[in-house]
Amino acid sequence: MDLPVDEWKSYVLQKWSLLPKSIQVTISTSETLNDLFLHSSALLQPEDEMFLKRLSGGYVVGKDPDASLLYREKGNKKFQAKDYMGAAVLYSKGVSHSGPNSTDISLCYANRSAALFHLGQYETCLKDIVRAQMHGYPERLQPKLLLRKAECLVTLGRPQEASQTIIDLESSFAAKPTLSASQFQILQRTLCRVKVKVQEKKNLPEIFPEALTKTFEGMDLREENEQIPGASSSVTLHIDPLKGRFLVATKDILPGELLVKEDAFVSVLNPGEVPLRPHSLESKWEIQATSGDLHCHRCLRHTLAPVPCEGCSYAKYCSQECMQQAWDRYHSVECSLGALLLTLGVFCHVALRSTLLARFEDVGKVIKKLCGEMSNQGICLPESKTPAQILKYGQGGEGEKTDKAVETPIPGCDINGKYERNYNAIFHLLPHTENHSPEYKFLCAVSVSALCRQLEAAGLQAFTTDLKPTKLKAAETPVLGAELNVWGVAMLRHMLQLQCNAQAITTIQQTGSKESLIADTRRVRLATALFPVVSLLNHSCSPNTSVSFIGTIATIRASQLIRSGQEILHCYGPHESRMGVAERRQKLRSQYFFDCDCPPCEREKQRPSAGPGREAFRCHRCRALLQGDDVLSCSGPACTESVGRDLLVSRLQDLQQQVGAAQKHLRNGRLELAIQLLLGCQSDAESFLSAEHSVVGEIEDALAQAYAALGDWEKSATHLQKSLQVVEVHHGPSSVEMGHELFKLAQVFFNGCAIPEALNTIQKAEKVLLVHYGPWNDEIRELQKMKSCLLDLLPIPVGPKE
């Protein structure tokens, strides 16, 4: 998803392999990104562009009124079946495919408002009603819509507005009696009901919607760092020739302290599995929802009621405001390139968007430096213009400054040594050009130059038009080639940076079946982003911080006590609890180009063959652990059992398959069957796996879910406690994984009305989750609700009466 689609990748790699050796050498030994870009770009032929065009033609990104109708009909079916969530998703797809101010779009909005009403999302329902009316909702259907509006307003505690809506409604009845007698009667009855409710509400004080009273307590840095905005004053920036830039604690930091709170400089929503245009009519339109359907393409907020871009069916936003901002900042350029960007992958998209965002900043110095490097290497730029003028970033009289004058001791900082979260910081993230393989560099360069050609064809004007007209001298004829090359080189730099610097924005997604009463959650990747401050943190396989996201904002909290002088570390992915030292080091080497020497790596390197004991096999006779490499022998004192590793590994694979099958039954609601299979897996696992093996934990967790779905809370709790033990061994007692598992256990105790156990578990879960997420977290709020509910249930000690 980050990289271009496989077809384009293999096409470019084949092209590379067919190049004469001499050209391959020229490209792989290019000393600058500029050379790399120009050499590769020169090799991009019209037939290559045609091939790419055919590939991207497979993505549906335009609007199609037929699709709009089909989605609305499918949505109506779900609505009738009372699957309001499913209906809302399909109406949203219908909205995306209809043009503005059409009956199609107004009907989709109106139907979606009905689904939202049933889901209890009254505020959003009201917005959709307004949208339906704005796009020309048919006059004859108005009464139904106005009634829904009145009901929403009543429920939200806004009786005045509700009364006004009813007056409008009645006058529209009087003016145009367009309804049949029976319809009119039904409507009249509902109207009476709503009127009564309005009366009742008028006697009550106004209620504020819960959303407005939510606070952001605990979400702000206690004291912001003067040198690094977005970081806490408890850290400072260091630089070292070997390690590069990194953050160090300036005082003792307690677990849970917020260290970084930073909005992404740039982020691109991962589209999910966007299906290629299918060939059969039956399956023409995808009805599954991807994350691209449920999250705002700008702020990543989850929404059931997105507003689509008016120009494409692909980009969707949580609100008109987000749509407008996205349009002004980047989507006006990206809109017509949707299919190409899906083909070239998210990295290419992030690279393009970064340069588009750069237009909003005074990045003259940075780009000038880039151009300076280019002209030093004899790249022909028109002599009459300084590079700055070419980019239209000229800064009046300051044009003569040399590169040295903007050099600062720490890359990415300004002259005063301040590390700002701006394009300058992004630009200085390391591209590691020398470490990437020649094939990868060629792929990136060719992809970027294909994108540049499309930009040129789509009208470069939109792309390079300066957004600060006050700084723009009289418009000159743009020098397309040179100008585009500068942008191309900048984009190539970003693409190469991304492999090491891209930060995945993740979210917790509910995965269990709809009926399941306990949350089964999974961390999923939502977007790919660049965070200048987060990028300053080095990796450890056992980090001392925990990162989480709210929309596009990343927060990093200390997950343990950090002593003054210690480095602030986070994990790039290969965590010691998830994989062995060899695998971790291999992953870090190939993606991030360094050999990890964090304490767990050093420790495990000393005795690599021992491996982590928790994933061990055990003897079927005496239950002692088995040890050894190819042939394992029993470590029991009086046992002579030995067995080949191959045999054990294949047994484990069989077991994992069985567990997978059982989980599938569980998801599809075949609970009895799932339990039967899982109990078989459990006894099989016991015969050859250690009690702390992760597969044992998976089996227990699935059993707990199955019993919870059956309402057998006691059994569910027993299995969940076993799974909890495995999680604790693997991730540690205060890990975020432990927090999620404790949360589940709290739900099970809560549902089973085991009050003391529930309160005890809630307290533990809250303590762990608070460290990782701070108080602004859905699970913590849920725990607090459970707690207050339980405390209400407890017998209240009788006090003295007044």
* CA 779/CA 372 separation, integer angstroms: 52
Residue from 307, 335, 655, 696 touching Zn ion (CB under 5 A): that is 335
User: Using CB under 5 A, which of the segments 223-231, 428-436, 591-599, 766-774 binds Zn ion?
Assistant: 591-599
User: Using CB under 5 A, which of the segments 94-102, 452-460, 597-605, 782-790 binds Zn ion?
Assistant: 597-605
User: What are the CB-based long-range contacts (under 8 Å, 24+) for 695-702?
Assistant: 695/652, 695/655, 695/656, 695/659, 696/722, 696/726, 697/722, 697/723, 697/725, 697/726, 697/727, 697/730, 698/659, 698/723, 699/659, 700/726, 701/741, 702/659, 702/662, 702/663, 702/666, 702/674, 702/678
User: Using CB under 5 A, which of the segments 89-97, 103-111, 259-267, 303-311 binds Zn ion?
Assistant: 303-311
Of 61 and 748, nearer to Zn ion (C-beta) is 61
Residue 305 sits in the site that holds Zn ion (CB under 5 A): no
Of 619 and 681, nearer to Zn ion (C-beta) is 619
Residue from 44, 156, 322, 720 touching Zn ion (CB under 5 A): that is 322
Question: What is the distance between the terminal CA atoms of the chain, rounded to a whole angstrom?
Answer: 68
User: Using CB under 5 A, which of the segments 179-187, 498-506, 614-622, 688-696 binds Zn ion?
Assistant: 614-622
* CA 519/CA 652 separation, integer angstroms: 28
Residue 622 sits in the site that holds Zn ion (CB under 5 A): yes
What phi-psi label fits residue 711: left (phi over 0), alpha (psi between -120 and 50 degrees) or beta?
left
Residue 315 sits in the site that holds Zn ion (CB under 5 A): yes
Residue 33 sits in the site that holds Zn ion (CB under 5 A): no
Least distance (Å) between residue 585 CB and Zn ion: 7
Residue from 115, 126, 601, 738 touching Zn ion (CB under 5 A): that is 601
User: Using CB under 5 A, which of the segments 437-445, 514-522, 598-606, 683-691 binds Zn ion?
Assistant: 598-606
Residue from 150, 619, 699, 780 touching Zn ion (CB under 5 A): that is 619
Residue 636 sits in the site that holds Zn ion (CB under 5 A): yes
Of 467 and 622, nearer to Zn ion (C-beta) is 622
* The token pair that represents 223 in the structure block: 């004291």
Residue 311 sits in the site that holds Zn ion (CB under 5 A): yes
Contacts of 475 (CB under 8 A, 6+ apart): none
Residue from 110, 114, 194, 296 touching Zn ion (CB under 5 A): that is 296
Residue 467: count other Cβ atoms within 10 Å of its Cβ: 13
For 379, half-sphere exposure in the C-beta direction (CA atoms, 13 angstrom radius) is 26
Of 121 and 234, nearer to Zn ion (C-beta) is 121
Least distance (Å) between residue 271 CB and Zn ion: 13
* CA 565/CA 750 separation, integer angstroms: 43
The one-character DSSP state at 607 is: S
* CA 33/CA 369 separation, integer angstroms: 13
Residue 621 sits in the site that holds Zn ion (CB under 5 A): yes
Of 155 and 332, nearer to Zn ion (C-beta) is 332
Of 412 and 551, nearer to Zn ion (C-beta) is 551
Sign of CA dihedral 611, 613, 619, 622: positive
HEC letters along 481-519: HHHHHHHHHHHHHHHHHHHHHCEEEEEEEECCCCCCCCC
191-250 residues near Zn ion, rule: CB under 5 A = none
Tell me the C-alpha to C-alpha distance, in Å, between residue 224 and each of 37, 227, 234. 40, 9, 9
What is the DSSP pairing of strand 569-570 with strand 538-539? Answer: parallel
User: Using CB under 5 A, which of the segments 385-393, 553-561, 622-630, 783-791 binds Zn ion?
Assistant: 622-630
What phi-psi label fits residue 111: left (phi over 0), alpha (psi between -120 and 50 degrees) or beta?
alpha
Tell me the C-alpha to C-alpha distance, in Å, between residue 380 and each of 12, 27, 244, 485. 28, 19, 33, 11
Tell me the C-alpha to C-alpha distance, in Å, between residue 556 and each of 221, 238, 548. 11, 18, 7
Of 566 and 656, nearer to Zn ion (C-beta) is 566
Of 331 and 428, nearer to Zn ion (C-beta) is 331
Residue 641 sits in the site that holds Zn ion (CB under 5 A): yes
Residue from 95, 318, 746, 790 touching Zn ion (CB under 5 A): that is 318
> Would you list the DSSP string of 554-598?
EEEEESS-B-TTPBPEE--S--TTTS-HHHHHHHHHHHH------
Size of the site for Zn ion (CB under 5 A): 23
Least distance (Å) between residue 231 CB and Zn ion: 24
Site string for Zn ion, 534-573 (x = CB under 5 A): -------x--------------------------------
Contacts of 801 (CB under 8 A, 6+ apart): none
Least distance (Å) between residue 388 CB and Zn ion: 31
Residue 413: name the closest of 250, 260, 532 by CA.
Answer: 532
* CA 613/CA 632 separation, integer angstroms: 13
Of 374 and 619, nearer to Zn ion (C-beta) is 619
Residue 156 sits in the site that holds Zn ion (CB under 5 A): no
Of 431 and 574, nearer to Zn ion (C-beta) is 574
Residue 299 sits in the site that holds Zn ion (CB under 5 A): yes
Of 496 and 689, nearer to Zn ion (C-beta) is 689
* The token pair that represents 793 in the structure block: 């249930």
* CA 11/CA 19 separation, integer angstroms: 13
The one-character DSSP state at 139 is: G
Residue 340 sits in the site that holds Zn ion (CB under 5 A): no
Of 179 and 639, nearer to Zn ion (C-beta) is 639
User: Using CB under 5 A, which of the segments 636-644, 748-756, 761-769, 776-784 binds Zn ion?
Assistant: 636-644
Residue from 1, 43, 639, 652 touching Zn ion (CB under 5 A): that is 639
User: Using CB under 5 A, which of the segments 33-41, 177-185, 226-234, 310-318 binds Zn ion?
Assistant: 310-318
> Are the CB atoms for 178 and 139 separated by under 8 Å?
yes
Of 297 and 392, nearer to Zn ion (C-beta) is 297
Least distance (Å) between residue 462 CB and Zn ion: 13
Residue 705: name the closest of 512, 522, 524 by CA.
Answer: 512
Question: Which residues contribute to the site for Zn ion (CB under 5 A)?
Answer: 296, 298-299, 301, 309, 311-312, 315, 318, 322, 335, 541, 596, 598, 601, 619, 621-622, 624, 634, 636, 639, 641
